[in-house]
A and B are shown apart, each in its own frame.
Chain A
Amino acid sequence: MAIRSFFLFILFFSSSLSPVFSLYEDQVGLMDWHQQYIGKVKQAVFSSQRAGRKRVVVSTEENVIASLDLRHGEIFWRHLLGADDVIDGIDIGLGKYVITLSSGGSILRSWNLPDGQMVWESSLQGPKHSKSFLLVPTNLKFDKDNVLVVFSNGRLHAISCIDGEVLWKKDFEAESFEVQQVIQPPGSDLIYVVGFAASYQFEMYQINAKNGELLKHESASFSSGFSGEVSLVSTETVVALDSTGSILLTISFQDGKISSQQTPISNLVEESLGPAVIIPSSVSGIFAIKTDAVTVFIRVIGEGKLEVVEKTTHEIAVSDALSISEDQEAFALIQHASSEIHLTVKLAHDWDGNLLKESVKMDRQRGLVHKVFINNYIRTDRSYGFRVLIVMEDHSLLLLQQGEIVWSREDGLASIIDVTTSELPVERNGVSVAKVEHNLFEWLKGHMLKLKGTLMLASPEDMAAIQSMRLKSSEKSKMTRDHNGFRKLLIVLTRAGKLFALHTGDGRIVWSHLLRSLHKSEACQSPIGLNLYQWQVPHHHAMDENPSVLVVSRCGPSSDAPGVLSFVDTYTGKELSSLSLDHAVVQVIPLPYTDSTEQRLHLLINADKHAHLYPKTSEALSIFKREFLNIYWYSVEDQNGIIKGHALKCKCTGEVADEFCFDTRDLWSVVFPSESEKIVATVTRKLNEVVHTQAKVVADQDVMYKYISRNLLFVATVAPKGSGEIGSVTPEESWLVAYLIDTVTGRILHRVTHHGLQGPVHAVFSENWVVYHYFNLRAHRYEMSVIEIYDQSRADNKDVWKLVLGKHNLTSPISLFSRPEVITKSQSYFFTHSLKAIAVTSTAKGITSKQLLLGTIGDQVLALDKRFLDPRRTVNPTQAEKEEGIIPLTDSLPIIPQSYVTHALRVEGLRGIITVPAKLESTTLVFAHGVDLFFTQLAPSRTYDSLTEDFSYALLLITIVALVAAIFVTWRLSERKELQEKWR
């Protein structure tokens, strides 16, 4: 007995300590892919280095600074700054340093251009908040040292380019002074700071760039005031608009004297245009104003005289000026014309002559050109050539040169809002989408190579061939559904309002579609994409239909702006239809009912708490009417600290009869005391999660019944004081309260208060448990807690005969209004990392054990077995508990290096982790997105239901053949021997 238990013990330990998930070196890239993006480019600076590879340095709206290869668009290096460290400006200093100004102008950094290492960082403080400017004058020297001029926080700094030291500074403390431009005329030692004071006074400061001394201060007042930005038309002239947006003010401050001229726009353009805005540009002598319909380019011809040079109704984008010689400046202009864009490069002083005019075919799915950056190069015949970098409406980045798109980057994928999945088409006879790539010989050759690898006979070249064969396996990137359900489409909605379908096999873009409904239009000024829902998932009887997704968006940022629905076919990417709603969309509730074409019923709640049913068909209505009394909804008002439950009442009592609109009534509300609790996190179970069983067998054949409900809501509240940054409160005045609330009845099933804890709280809900992550102020460590909830009222179902004969009511439908008797078990553990996201694996039938997927602060995804978060863990588990697989309790959760799902990669700017079940029960698909994308397959209990990918079928075949041959040979031999023995 003792020996046996010893063996069991050894067995248990070896199984529990061996990493559950790990990867061999040659398996990297086999089932996973990783894509790097940078986001929508805000600013681009071309490196003018003569030698070495041409590169462009960009800063983006995702807060990335990156150096890109100008030839191919690849990333040389990239840095993602923190969310509170927004980049204000970038430039290149001395040809080898990338200078960035960030955090509202308070941090200036210098990076080495070739490799992206940080050279220095300096912190710039100032008296008050203001606009910030970064200037890198080319010929302003200070003891052989180039000087950077930075205006930020109401202070002008001159900073050494070599080491970041502040050479001098000058404060602009006047209360109402708002800086508009900082100008450093090339070839002079002066700096002009111009701005407005008290919104009607124009102020000009002239400063000595050598020492920061104030040379002159002039001001002039304009009774009509100012609006918007100013445009610099020469080094000593700016153009501004008055507060009505109808009069142009040309202000020049030559030699420190302010003179001005007013020109009503109506004098320049005959028809009335309405209020205009100035498009900021730095082209000397020319500026542009834009009204709703028209863009007007205006030239300044000496002494403040203005002249219209061009008026266009096309969408237009202008680049900044590029100086190509001593006194010549060029700029690029891009105009749209149906499926083409026209690129023109002009000289600043010569509007009518074009240096370059090209037309480029442009995919309509990229939308409008938002930004243009121009760069020149010297052709072999010593003339100037131009290349432009353009940023499109879908956030993609393209390089145009010689009338062609040299490369393009789909950087819209850096800002994903929502993700859903779709199945691929079924492979049908005759309509095979896949190519026939392999002939028999190649198949055999491949398997022989594999066999050689297995038998360790392969040479390094063979190994490389095997590896490339595995990576390029066409099997994984086919466009049809596979038996294991590994091949799917990931449908992602980006912030730009573009929908992409990514293939899970290799991450390529199958189709992309810029939603028409998310296009700016008369009715919808600033549409925002909100969410994606699976609208139609055909299976069984509706196989012939294509699946589709529902994109819910809204016109404008306020919650009562009218909503827009679009339906997109996921096989083709075509927008099937779009609906402009006459009501707002505050909540979208996918209902657990589908109609005969497998369209899911959705309830849209508007701002007045009316529920609208979609699809608007009579069939959907009849299904809905049948379940009418059983449908409830709840709203979490996290600002007021109230959770309300509602039921549907009757048809809307509006002026227009709408049978798909329903009134609702309040049923219950949970009000959290605002002085002590603030909602920081709410989480529910995923709607599509499958739970295999309601019973949990514990040690000694005992049964515990899980309390499994789709209508449970986990709410975490913290003390309002403690909702700030970690460490901003003492442990005594901070706490965290966790609730489990039934969202049908409003019953609080469980409530627990933890003292001395602080957010942020990340939580995940699955089956009958919640795991949440927070900071413990007393222990100065992060912690994770688990709550498991069990149904006590079922606990006495222990009669074996009743269960054998099925005479129990454990699976009969239950109402939540019957009083539940629940018990909860919970436990807390220390955890080293702080988290960005948390998710749980999900499998097709819910049999496979679960793993938590933790998005760590280092932008990696860590898999942690749920077994480590089991409230039944004790320090000394009994024999029976050990056999059940309970791990002895430790105070902290282990981090096993092999269980990083992302292995050596990082998903920069990680925002979300999505898990999708494959058809194969053991396997789940994981998609992590941030600025980068990462996809892999996970098998939390290993692939117990299939052979591994590197299984050698050839070896199996050869073994079988050899065995059969051996059987025949030995049979013959034995027969012969028997005959001989008979003759003896």
Chain B
Amino acid sequence: MLASCDSLTHDADDHVRRRKMAVCVAVIAKENYPLYIKTVPTENELKFHYTVHTSLDVVEEKISAVGKALVDQRELYLGLLYPTEDYKVYGYVTNTKVKFVIVVDSSNIALRDNEIRSMFRKLHNSYTDVMCNPFYNPGEVIQSKVFDNMVSGMMVQVC
């Protein structure tokens, strides 16, 4: 791919050849408080917080819908939670009801469902690593550098 996807977002860095994967990645505890939220660009942080928080509505809706189905056939990936004009919000829930939310720029039409799924898988693996750290207390805000680096890598992928 030669042209930047950013060209249409009227960003200043049109010439930078990078492709945004996700603009916001969030890990939300079972009790619905954020364990981790990272957004790029940071000036929209507040908006993404609102978006992620609102998406919990749909996450809960989907979880309760899934709950009625067989337990072992539970699909962790919740799919597209809801699209907005500018962003698409995807959800994923672990068996312990920890939620992952990834917000993707809508202009990134080329992003396929499979890629989203693999992002979630990566996120889940990394989260599991965080949980395995004996110095991490479950329920605490995630401050792991490794996790942060992984998420950063997920957010901006240089082509």
- A in complex with B: no
